Amino acid sequence: MNEEEMFKKFGENVRKQREKENLTLNDVAKKTKIREQYLQKIENGKATGIRCSHIIIIAHALNIEAYKLCKGLQ
């Protein structure tokens, strides 16, 4: 899996969990204090160089362990 595919898969995992939690991007932005536009880029696989701290903050807001958002990224 190349880097582009990894970011796309990570974004899909974030979106699935957000939808499972019945949250909007705006809800997650408010919870995380991460801009909604950046969260949208993450979900669309367009954000690169995502900081570990952001992964942890997003996971916490989505009620999931951070490593589970990275599932399937091998």
Compare 4 and 61 and report the one with higher pLDDT.
61
Q: How confident is the prediction for the chain on average, in pLDDT?
A: 94
Domain 3-69 has CATH 1.10.260.40: yes
Q: Mind listing the pLDDT tens digit for each residue in 28-56?
A: 999 999 999 999 999 999 998 899 999 99
Q: In the numeric block, which tokens belong to residue 29?
A: 């932005």
Q: Is the pLDDT of residue 72 over 90?
A: no
- How many whole angstroms separate alpha carbon 31 and alpha carbon 3? 28
The structural domains of the chain, with segments of one domain joined by +, span 3-69
* C-beta atoms surrounding 71 within 10 Å: 11
Supply the pLDDT for residue 74.
65
Candidates 60, 39, 65; CA nearest to 50 is 39
* C-beta atoms surrounding 13 within 10 Å: 20
What pTM value is reported for the model? 0.92
Helix (H) or strand (E) holding 6: helix 3-20
